[in-house]
Amino acid sequence: MAETEQAIPDQGFIDHATQIYKELSSIPTITGGSLYTKKNGKDNEAFEFVVTSKWSQRDLEKKEKRVFQRNHIATFSGDSRKLISVQEPSFPVELQNVQLSSTSPSGKYQAIIRKIPATKKDDEKQFIEIWSCNNIIKSIDIKAADKHGDINEDSQFGSLQWSPSEKYLLYVAEKKKPKKVSYFDSSKSEESSEKSKPETGFQFDYESDWGELLVKKSHPILTVLDIHKGDISVIDGIPDDLSVGQAIWNPGETGVVFSGWKHEPYRLGLIYCTNRRSGIFHISLDGTNFEQLSLPDNAVLSPRFNPQMDKLIYLARNTKGVHACCLKLMEFDWKARTTVTIVDIVDYPRDDGFAGIYCSGLPERCWSFDGKRIILGSFWASSLKILAIDVESKSVMNLTKEDGCWNVLDVQKDLILASFSSPSCPNRLLIRPLTSSGDGADLDWTVIANMEDHQDIKWENITLSPDGDKTKSYEAVLIQPTNLEKDVQLVVHPHGGPHSNYPSNYMIEFAGLCKLGFAVLSVNYRGSLGFGQKVLESLLGNVGTQDVGEVKYALDKVLETRKFDKKNVFVMGGSHGGFIACHFIGQYPDFFSAVAIRNPVINIVSLIGTSDIPDWGFEEAACDFDDDLLADAETYAKLLSHSPISHVKKIVTPTMLMLGEVDLRVPPSQGKELYRTLKARGVDVRLLIYPDNSHPLNKVEAESDAFVNISRWFNKHRN
């Protein structure tokens, strides 16, 4: 389309978009936090809590995300119900190369896993550091110790746990691999011991890993550091077909409880996928006693002991089915060796709105002080709420009245530390007491730190029921500028997954588009998390029709009832959101002015042979998945019929594709497949490929470039 008088001249618009992004990128994001307490010596009735929070901020000049720590001191009355004062005694401190950290139970020591980047002279290194309040006590070079590979710092496997006695440190690391050399390597040492002798002729053997965002993570093992001696030992006795993670100490410090994921028949992508074959296991430190604690045929995660160390909770689901779904909260009695279900799968939302537990894991500290309640975050329709679950009555209480995205950061001495954001509110760090069971739902949260709200952005949740059936209801979140008199141009955004959710959180991309004069409609179609298991499963076998139809219905309703420019409607999305967007421009070829898509699924048939989660396509199309990945012609035809590529001949909408060069979830070959077809057919198409970026496209240079190019593409193709 030719640029018209209504469109801002390109260079002026680019400068405007760039300036807006620069301003928004200076807003940091809360990524973690913890609470530590000590008695206030001046007043025996008061407690001082040290509130430590971790923040991340984009640095456009250095093209990296800077991580820093803020420390506040909050003083509460003796019953922890009334906040007396909050102080921030120092400036933020940048955390350089810190991968993991853990404070000892007494609060006297801190353990840090630090990565030292490679230089021209030295390879990358990792160190375990032990600090007191006064100085560094011990620093151990992991590579020099030569006991294992890299320490796992990721959220899937990573663990760094002090023993109750503070004598040992438990962590997860990659299993040490033998050196592999060529048949013709003249440097092979004949003096090597049999144990350390290099393996000849295996250097090109394929080694699988756990896929997207877990590259080179293939066989995590349990390791223990003796703090005083400085000795590192690997815990033996775990079957060789298990990758371990999320490890915690057992009662008595004699063993370890952990999550374990099975390798056989082969590893599949694990991140965002709760359906992988797994179990909760216990191993004694000497490796002589190994047992499975979780029920068979369950996929599990997040084992957590109560403060009394006699009850173990974890999350569970069936191993069959979609990559993310409603989870059960299970409790294992350590003494009786019995298992009960605290919260079961919920098919449809209850009268109070609760639709089940939907999360990626439990907070590291999630128990009330008396061991009777569990605090966790869960998707709840188009929000992420904080819930208190009573393990005795099995009741669920919503602790957050305000819609938006709430995250539990820590629970300590019946105080809850949380973060909150919404489309118009970048970040708040909050705290509140956990009162006695059955009350306190209406207590206010106290703000410890916050960023200024965007007064020029407003938002609302919209409930949609196309045929009046409440069991088929879903939601959309409408975000728009507050101060424009002319008709605003709308960008529709279906989320990825499809079994994910847009929880009304702050997104720099959405805020930036609003400040450029656009509105954004993000739709939580049926199949999204947080609306009930049966509602989620309704999408299976209907991808490309039900999800597309529901997003289109939401869009039509908003255009009918709100004052938006009906001649200029845009669509953007990533992954499955890109899948829906491509279906849009194929099924409704004259409706949208332009589309911008990131790492989209284009062809399920070609995806199953290249993705780290080949089962995804089979499950979403309601086809049987077999580990051998063999399918008949009828199945391939069905997969193709659900794919956007089946509508490609009808596409005329200007299309911009943004691909991560090292994306393993939806490999760039998917986007290139669409690009070549559109290019050959004369459609206005642009392809951007971001080196060293995977599925999220979340590195600073890629994020910033994508925002300006999306904005520019939409501006260019306004009617």
pLDDT tens-digit profile of 371-394?
A: 999 999 999 999 999 999 999 999
The predicted-structure confidence for 663-696, as pLDDT tens digits, reads as follows 999 999 999 999 999 999 999 999 999 999 999 9
Model confidence over 326-362: pLDDT tens digits?
999 999 999 999 999 999 999 999 999 999 999 999 9
- Alpha carbon dihedral 266, 272, 277, 280, in 10-degree steps, equals 130
Confidence of residue 11 (pLDDT cuts 50, 70, 90): very high
Of 189-198, 251-260, 585-594, the one with minimum mean pLDDT is 189-198
- Residue 4 has a pLDDT of 41
Comparing CA positions, the residue from 683, 55, 57 lying closest to residue 428 is: 55
Catalytic residues: 575, 663, 695
* Token pair of 509 as six digits: 């991309």
**pLDDT single digits (tens) 285-313:** 999 999 999 999 899 999 999 999 999 99
Average pLDDT, the chain: 94
Written as one letter, the residue type at 366 is C
Per-domain residue ranges of the chain: 150-182+200-345, 454-602+653-717
3-state secondary structure of 17: helix
Task: Kindly indicate whether the domain formed by 454-602+653-717 is annotated with CATH number 3.30.1370.160.
Answer: no
Q: How high is the pLDDT of residue 5?
A: 38
Please say if the pLDDT value at position 466 is more than 70: yes
Largest CA-CA distance found in the chain, in angstroms, rounded: 81
pLDDT at 487: 82
pLDDT tens-digit readout, 191-204: 555 556 889 999 99
Arithmetic mean of pLDDT, 17-43: 88
pLDDT surpasses 90 at 505: yes
pLDDT of residue 1: 39
One fold for both 150-182+200-345 and 454-602+653-717?
no
Of 685 and 40, more confident: 685
Give 151's DSSP letter: B
Q: What are φ and ψ of residue 256, in 5° steps? A: -135, 140
Cα torsion at 411, 413, 414, 420 (round to 10°)? -40
Task: Report DSSP state, residue 626.
Answer: -
Amino acid identity of residue 491, one-letter, is: V
Q: What is the pTM of this model?
A: 0.95
Which of these, 671, 685, 686, 658, lies nearest to 610 by C-alpha position?
671
CB atoms within 10 A of CB 564: 21
User: Tokens representing 660?
Assistant: 């991560």
For 587, list phi and psi in degrees, rounded to 5: -85, -25
Could you tell me which CATH class the domain 150-182+200-345 is placed in? mainly beta
Q: Which helix (H) or strand (E) holds 23?
A: helix 10-25
List the one residue out of 236, 259, 118 whose CA is nearest residue 176.
236
| pLDDT of residue 187 exceeding 90 | no
Is the pLDDT at 44 greater than 50? The verdict is yes
Instruction: Write out the E strands in 18-119.
Output: 29-39, 46-59, 64-77, 83-87, 93-94, 98-103, 109-116
